[in-house]
Amino acid sequence: MSEDSDTLTSKVSLEDPSDSPISTYSGLFSAASPKVSMSPMSRMALRSDSPKQPYDTQSLTETVMDYPFQYGRRYHKYHEGAYVFPNDEKESVRLNMQHHMFKLVNNGRLYFAPLQDPRKMLDIGTGTGIWPIEMAALFPNAEITGTDLSPIQPTVVPENVHFLVDDAAEEEWLWHHDYFDYIRLAHLTGGIPSSEELLRKSLQHLKPGGWLECHEMDPKPMCDDGTMPPEAEEGGLSAFALHDWWRAQHQSGQFTNPPRQFRIAPRIERSMIESGFVDIQQRIKKVPTNPWPSDPEMKEIGFHSERNWLEALSGWSYKPLTSLGWTRPEIEVFLVNVRKAIRNRDVHCYTNYHVVIGRKPFPDEKEAL
């Protein structure tokens, strides 16, 4: 599995360490990175009719921090309902754990695009902000902006990191076109109505020659050796309940307002081509659901993957399954079997983790295409 678990295509090498330095970052801050304490109001921006107008931060503070609570979990307030997963402290701890797991999956790398002295970088769906904070140590001359629907990021960060409350699904972004050297879209499955539209906007807001990098897990359960029972026919129950969980998640995306995409990863490469990016390359890495592999590195990833699944499962499930008409007791009974499937070492299940990079062409390249 360790030899054939990567699928590489196209022109730019994702594996060249001279292009993408490996992060050895072990904490939230680098000792070399200056820090600045920032109040929540100074970290947030609220949209007005014009994205260039000043922001009413007092109004924003009152609005976005009036969090709704459901199912014993806390959810975002800004554009309430646009994101169906929790934003509470429990979820923040899990997101940071997941970040470190994906660093293992990515061989310690925070990025794969061949960046050369980028000055303006954007992280959409930044979550706890751990990725911009770690990137600040690698690119101290870059201005790194993280956006999210929830203001759950730290208030003490490197001075070149800024966080904004924003919804990338809106028609107008806060910045002019041709503004960023690098944009990162990561872990947005189930959180956006159209990945294709988000790619189009990213292309508009990148400078010519700038890079887009997408990191997404495909949640569909996979298996190569026949140890995973097959998925049941529509309406039936599978012997391996993770099949049914994935199918229910996928179906639930049709019932949110607006509808949400729960399977983004397999389409990213084709969508980037259709959007107009060039020098596109995809890396696909198998992530075991639990520590079933014999390979030590994959076993370690599987250990973290199992923990991540189990920590996330209830928060990932309540709102999507409720939208299908399930009651909370029905959800809880169902999740008992899903947890059993996740823990089952006899089933060699994995999911595919996609990293796709693409470059915005220069004007003369567009003419040649």
Q: b/e map of 323-354 (b: 16 or more CB within 10 Å)?
A: beebeeeebeebbebbbebbebeebbbbbbbb
In this prediction the pTM is 0.84
d(C-alpha 133, C-alpha 99), whole Å: 12
What is the model's pLDDT at position 278? 98
Give the number of C-alpha atoms closer than 13 A to the C-alpha of residue 196, restricted to the C-beta side: 6
What is the model's pLDDT at position 355? 99
Crossing angle between the packed helical segments 296-322 and 328-343, to the nearest 10 degrees: 170
Q: Which comes out higher in pLDDT, residue 41 or 165?
A: 165
Mean pLDDT (the chain) is 84
pLDDT in tens, 135-189: 999 999 999 999 998 888 998 999 999 999 888 887 789 899 999 999 999 999 8
Q: Which comes out higher in pLDDT, residue 319 or 213?
A: 213
* Of the candidate ranges 32-36, 83-87, 124-128, 218-222, the one whose mean pLDDT is the lowest: 32-36
What is the model's pLDDT at position 76? 84
**Do β-strands 161-165 and 143-148 pair in parallel, antiparallel, or remain unpaired?**
parallel
Model confidence at 3: pLDDT above 60: no
Element (H, E) at 20: none
- List the domains of the chain with CATH numbers: 6-368 (3.40.50.150)
* Beta bridge partner(s), residue 146: 123, 163
Residues 57, 205, 179, 353: is their CA dihedral positive or negative?
A: positive
Quickly count: other Cβ atoms within 10 Å of residue 19's Cβ.
16
d(C-alpha 199, C-alpha 80), whole Å: 23
Nearest to 333 by CA among 317, 357, 351, 356: 317
